[in-house]
Amino acid sequence: MKYRVTLLEGDGIGPEVTGATCRILAAAGAPIEWERAPAGGEAMEKYGVPMPEVTLESIRKNRLGLKGPLMTPKGGGFRSANVTLRQALDLYVGLRPVKTLPNIPGAWPGLDLVLFRENTEDLYAGIEHEVTPGTVVSLKTSTVRAGERISRWAFEHMRYRGRRTIHCCHKAPINPLADGAFLNAFRKVGGEYPFIEQLDIGVDTLSLLLPMDPSRFDVLLLQNLYGDILSDLCAGLAGGLGVVPGANIGSKAAVFEAVHGTAPDIAGKGLANPLAVLLSGLMLLEHVGEWKIAGRVERAVWDVLAAGKHLTGDLGGKAGTAEFTDAIIDAL
Ligand code: NAI
1-92+245-332 CATH fold: Isopropylmalate Dehydrogenase (3.40.718)
C-beta of 17 in contact with ligand 1 (< 6 A): yes
Strand, helix or coil for residue 177: coil
Residue 225 CA to residue 125 CA, distance in Å, equals 11
Residue 159 CA to residue 180 CA, distance in Å, equals 25
C-beta of 254 in contact with ligand 1 (< 6 A): no
C-beta of 231 in contact with ligand 1 (< 6 A): no
Going from the Cα of 261 to the center of ligand 1, the distance in angstroms, rounded, reads 3
The 8-class DSSP code of residue 319 comes to B
Going from the Cα of 180 to the center of ligand 1, the distance in angstroms, rounded, reads 34
Residue 219 CA to residue 248 CA, distance in Å, equals 17
C-beta of 265 in contact with ligand 1 (< 6 A): yes
**Best mutation site among 260, 314, 321 for ligand 1 pocket (most ligand atoms within 8 Å of CB):** 260
Residue 86 CA to residue 84 CA, distance in Å, equals 6
pLDDT at position 77, please?
Answer: 57
pLDDT at position 227, please?
Answer: 96
Residue nearest to atom 24 of ligand 1 (CA): 261
pTM recorded for the entire structure: 0.94
Residue 99 CA to residue 104 CA, distance in Å, equals 11
**φ, ψ (nearest 5 deg) of residue 119:** -100, -5
Going from the Cα of 13 to the center of ligand 1, the distance in angstroms, rounded, reads 9
Residue nearest to atom 27 of ligand 1 (CA): 261
Residue 70 CA to residue 81 CA, distance in Å, equals 7
C-beta of 266 in contact with ligand 1 (< 6 A): yes
Helix 224-237 × helix 203-212 angle, to 10°:
10
pLDDT at position 289, please?
Answer: 95
- For residue 24, which amino acid is it? I
pLDDT at position 127, please?
Answer: 87
pLDDT at position 22, please?
Answer: 98
Residue nearest to atom 13 of ligand 1 (CA): 263
pLDDT at position 95, please?
Answer: 97
pLDDT at position 218, please?
Answer: 98
pLDDT at position 3, please?
Answer: 97
C-beta of 82 in contact with ligand 1 (< 6 A): yes
Strand, helix or coil for residue 263: coil
Which CATH number does 112-237 carry? 3.40.718.10
C-beta of 261 in contact with ligand 1 (< 6 A): yes
The ranges assigned to domains in the chain are 1-92+245-332, 112-237
**Within 13 Å of residue 202, how many CA atoms lie on the same side as its CB?**
9
pLDDT along the chain (332 residues), means of 10: 96 97 98 97 93 97 97 68 90 96 91 96 88 95 96 97 97 94 98 98 97 96 96 93 94 94 95 97 97 97 96 93 98 96
Please name every residue paired with 94 in a beta bridge, in sequence order, or none if there are none.
117, 248
Instruction: Give 69: exposed, middle or buried? Use CB within 10 Å, 0-12, 13-18, 19+.
Output: buried
Instruction: Calculate the CA dihedral of residues 312, 317, 323, 329 and round it to 10 degrees.
Output: -80
1-92+245-332 and 112-237: same fold? yes
CA 11 to chain CA centroid, Å, is: 17
Residue nearest to atom 43 of ligand 1 (CA): 261
pLDDT at position 78, please?
Answer: 60
Strand, helix or coil for residue 161: helix
C-beta of 237 in contact with ligand 1 (< 6 A): no
- For residue 46, which amino acid is it? K
